[in-house]
Amino acid sequence: MEPVFRSFGVDYYLAGALARDVHLSAHEKFSAKRRTKDVDIAVLLDAEEKFYQIKEALVRTGDFEERVNKPIKLIYRGETEVDLLPFGEIENEDRELFLTRHALLVMDMSGFREVYPFVNTVEIESGVSLNVCSLEGLILLKLIAHHDNPSRTKDITDIEHLLKVYFELNSHEIYTDYFSVMEMYSTVTNNYLDLVSARVIGRKIGLMLKDYAKTGERIKAILSSRPVPAWLAMLDGMNES
């Protein structure tokens, strides 16, 4: 897909399950045991027509086919579902994606623009790099997705899992840049590392939302609505940013 995006001069980043698995694969213990069958790709676009042009170009490669009545979805080589998630100037003033050729499709794109400046460039093999949503960005997007659709319980499960593994994946950065956070909690607390991780994540999310007050207030309200220690630690971190 990347050569097609490049030919149109548009930027992108991986989101969703594949982005999660790319980050987890940095540690052998957390690597995914099976291939992800669903791929979410956020694409920075300024016009709806360019979205359709990119889709048509992807289909012309012969590797992708469209799904009837699902305008953002493509099937790669008959088995992998790919969702193209346009964000940026293509959104309306309410931060929604509204595709005029498909009047029934309206999607809340809150969070995608906010995390974009903080994406990671990950080398997956020699000479091959991908733009991948950061772990903190994934948590932000999952908070919004679950709030929009509470039946998506997997979002909560993913957030809790990322909190559990975050310290081990980012211990060097935390020791170097966030050591003061490690002194805020008692080391004898059972969930000590979870609380430290959550507060660091909250600080990073706060930085992402520095220029997006409306999204920031929304995330704080979401965290406040689930008064468990790790979520409140994220909220504290956001308030410190």
Q: What is the pLDDT of residues 48-98, one digit of tens each?
A: 999 999 999 999 999 999 988 889 999 999 999 999 999 999 999 999 999
pLDDT score of 31: 72
Q: Element (H or E) spanning 83, and its range?
A: strand 80-87
The full set of domain ranges for the chain reads 1-133, 134-241
pLDDT in tens, 180-232: 999 999 999 999 999 999 999 999 999 999 999 999 999 999 999 999 999 99
Q: What is the pLDDT of residue 33?
A: 55
pLDDT, residue 34, reads: 59
Sequence-distant (≥ 6) Cβ neighbours of residue 94 within 8 angstroms: none
pLDDT at 37: 80
Q: Is 162 helix (H, G, I), strand (E, B) or coil?
A: helix
Q: Which of 156, 173, 172, 166 has its CA nearest to residue 192?
A: 166
Judge contact between 159 and 142, C-beta under 8 A.
yes
Is the Cβ–Cβ distance between 146 and 231 less than 8 Å?
Answer: no
Query: Which DSSP helix (H) or strand (E) runs through 198?
Result: helix 192-208
Report d(CA 48, CA 129) in Å as an integer: 27
Q: Would you say how long the chain is, in residues?
A: 241
Q: Which fold has domain 1-133?
A: Beta Polymerase; domain 2 (3.30.460)
pLDDT at 56: 96
Each residue's pLDDT tens digit, 89-147: 999 999 999 988 876 678 999 999 999 999 999 987 888 889 999 999 999 999 999 99
Query: What are the tens digits of pLDDT across the range 24-46?
Result: 987 777 776 556 789 999 999 99
pTM: 0.94
pLDDT confidence of residue 103? 67
The first and second tokens of residue 86, run together, are 């346009």
Q: Which pLDDT value is given to residue 32?
A: 64
Confidence of residue 20 (pLDDT cuts 50, 70, 90): very high
